[in-house]
Structure 1
């Protein structure tokens, strides 16, 4: 088992051995953020992920891939030649010291090491297998990419714009890898909870295609239950019928999403007051329906849209009012004013602006990480969760190739 360390992180006493694969990185990173010691095993020449652009300063190098950085924050790197008998023995020794293994399958080194063989001697070991189609699949040998996984699993289908003359689209950023990693971390944590109760580990089988499929919101559900095909809709949930647009171009040219409509009488009073303060009431004749809703004793029932004329008119007026207000304010100002007034809305910001937003900074997501090999410090996003009784692991830079091979020497003694 991993050696205990003197900190307050949730998983501080655990060692995770990640045999790096196409979909393993984010699961290992999440466990590292929770405080586990995560050792990523690479071949002597390094993980293929180290060769993927973009590179820091646009200069390719084994230790300069930003994709490698993003997936391996907080980990340690050891290099092992799994094509040699001595390398296989070294990996066995490393796994002997582990609480959790994260790997691209339940067999390693062309079957020389398997979960079932290891578990006989290590019944408390948790082995998380992350593969494109799940263990035992007839498609196991098929090559995959982020695009083919997302297309086959469904997320590409329900992402895109109302104008269906445009094709569906894939979100950027290796979303299948992120989804797979999230489920891998969840599976590992559930298995840990079970081990605390029952005293035994288990094999966790993460099917990346299935994980992406159940991340399609309502698309799969509606097909399975109703045989209904959901429609792609700009900036809102795919659904079998069209819903009202929620994105609006603001006064500064940026976009905002107008979010959830008001429902309670006090919300409608606040919306009416906001229109009055901005001098926009005369531009919205339908404001009379907002006043009608404000005078009610009960909230508006959104399930009656399209069935009850008064409800439909009220909510249509609310949407028009929010869109009118958003069109007259800069996106960020609209967002902040909506928050102060209790309306759910958001500004659509470029990634760098979202990261530098004062809310993000105040939440503590800006974490300076030293990179001595580059003679600079780089600001990373920190863990997205806070705990009252423990601390998440503080990010450290992704490991250099073979930077922690001394750990293998220590285990061999």
Structure 2
């Protein structure tokens, strides 16, 4: 499966996902290189088009060609490359629209099986197509920032780090391409897939958009938990080592309350929590506790309040990782909030093959990458190749006839 990606702000992650799934992804860049190569941070803090970690993250496993789209001959070279493709990924405002040098309709006339995925900030038909955007404006306009922040609403919302709009766009790009390819298996025909990044962000607002559309309910952000029209109980607690843990959902069944009371006892904490008596009451019930009765039934409110305090007390006396592991073993969902480097080094992540060494021959060393978050029993995913150097694979174009507008890497 061959994918041609015209490198742009929102194209990289979708191409990377398809490369991980086994596609031959060729990223086409201008002769001076994609602007994404100039985004810091850089390896060893040395600015260089071949050392951008953001470029690496979105382009591992691909090949690179450089094409001058400002010239007719360069456009012809790219058109020839696209004729052998199964999928094209492009920012529609720049290329692929009817007014562009290379239009989807033109290629589809002679290549009806082509799947063209346009990924743009506002969709192909938007009158805002030419407006500049950033990750911040995408997340603010699309809605995810509304969900992100603290219970204290005097503090502004918080933008999630890591180019979240670019990742959201990339996942919808990959999904759109795969759905279109699946349909092609039946009809033999490709199609134009129009990815609207604002819309993709909007439907990635969990339940916030849904609540407004269904009942005009306004979800408000809450510290480390789901935005919702009503306030829920806090779930984060500072553990004994200073790190935080998410204490998860409350017990419901009698046997769960019995296990929680036993955990308190095993740690010698029962006397520190007078409300522990309510755990014993819940453990002796014949039916689960109905969380919907909080605030209306006194016994239910007392039981679940005691459970929350018991969990918070236990978590505060253990290191975050130990609390997480012990909680899981005892049958309670929980999670430790680890720094990125600790998560990357975690033994579970390593056992899942998430830490993958990639040889960088141009640097003379091996770099550890995060691997794929899925495992396939019949079609295992191999380790990625390093991201391509600028114009490293221009010989692909030479095989199509070559052109003076197709320049080798400097």
Q: What TM-score comes out, normalization by structure 1 length?
A: 0.95
Shift of 1:204: 0.7
Shift of 1:297: 2.6
Query: What residue is the counterpart of 1:203 in the other structure?
Result: 192
Query: What residue is the counterpart of 2:368 in the other structure?
Result: 379
Per-residue Cα deviation, 1:13-61 (whole angstroms, up to 9, x for no partner): x000000111010000000000100000000000000011100000000
Query: What residue is the counterpart of 1:36 in the other structure?
Result: 23
Compare 58-67 and 155-164 and name the one that shifted more: 155-164
Choose which of 111, 118, 122 in structure 1 pairs with 2:100: 111
Query: What residue is the counterpart of 2:325 in the other structure?
Result: 336
Query: What residue is the counterpart of 1:83 in the other structure?
Result: 70
* Root mean square deviation, CA, Å: 1.3
Secondary structure of the corresponding residue to residue 25 of structure 2 = strand
Secondary structure of the corresponding residue to residue 194 of structure 1 = helix
Shift of 1:298: 2.6
Choose which of 139, 148, 172 in structure 2 pairs with 1:159: 148
Choose which of 71, 74, 94 in structure 1 pairs with 2:61: 74
Decide whether the 8 Å contact of 1:51 with 1:60 is kept in 2. Answer: yes
Shift of 1:106: 7.2
Secondary structure of the corresponding residue to residue 51 of structure 2 = coil
Choose which of 127, 130, 140 in structure 1 pairs with 2:116: 127
Shift of 1:393: 3.9
Secondary structure of the corresponding residue to residue 412 of structure 1 = coil
Query: What residue is the counterpart of 1:361 in the other structure?
Result: 350
What is the rounded CA distance, in whole Å, between the counterparts of 1:306 and 1:119 in structure 2? 61
What is the rounded CA distance, in whole Å, between the counterparts of 1:107 and 1:253 in structure 2? 49
What is the rounded CA distance, in whole Å, between the counterparts of 1:395 and 1:294 in structure 2? 51
What is the rounded CA distance, in whole Å, between the counterparts of 1:53 and 1:118 in structure 2? 36
Decide whether the 8 Å contact of 2:247 with 2:335 is kept in 1. Answer: yes
Choose which of 349, 356, 365 in structure 1 pairs with 2:338: 349
Query: What residue is the counterpart of 1:96 in the other structure?
Result: 83
Secondary structure of the corresponding residue to residue 319 of structure 1 = helix
Decide whether the 8 Å contact of 2:168 with 2:200 is kept in 1. Answer: yes
Secondary structure of the corresponding residue to residue 400 of structure 2 = helix
What is the rounded CA distance, in whole Å, between the counterparts of 1:151 and 1:178 in structure 2? 15
Compare 385-394 and 153-162 and name the one that shifted more: 385-394
Gaps of 5+ in 1: 1-13
Shift of 1:107: 6.2
Per-residue Cα deviation, 1:269-318 (whole angstroms, up to 9, x for no partner): 11111000001111111112211222223322222222322222221111
What is the rounded CA distance, in whole Å, between the counterparts of 1:396 and 1:52 in structure 2? 21
Decide whether the 8 Å contact of 2:14 with 2:171 is kept in 1. Answer: yes
Decide whether the 8 Å contact of 1:107 with 1:113 is kept in 2. Answer: no
How has the CA–CA distance of structure 1 residues 189 and 395 changed in structure 2, closer, same or farther, with 3 Å as cutoff? same
Pairs aligned (count): 400
What is the rounded CA distance, in whole Å, between the counterparts of 2:184 and 2:296 in structure 1? 52
Query: What residue is the counterpart of 2:407 in the other structure?
Result: none
User: Are 1:407 and 2:396 an aligned pair?
Assistant: yes
Query: What residue is the counterpart of 2:39 in the other structure?
Result: 52
Shift of 1:120: 1.1
User: Are 1:236 and 2:221 an aligned pair?
Assistant: no
Gaps of 5+ in 2: 403-410
Query: What residue is the counterpart of 1:9 in the other structure?
Result: none
Per-residue Cα deviation, 1:72-101 (whole angstroms, up to 9, x for no partner): 010100000011111111111110110000
What is the rounded CA distance, in whole Å, between the counterparts of 2:124 and 2:33 in structure 1? 26
Q: What TM-score comes out, normalization by structure 2 length?
A: 0.95
Shift of 1:153: 0.8
Deviation beyond 3 Å, 4+ runs, structure 1: none
Per-residue Cα deviation, 1:77-136 (whole angstroms, up to 9, x for no partner): 000001111111111111011000010017628611111111111111111110000110
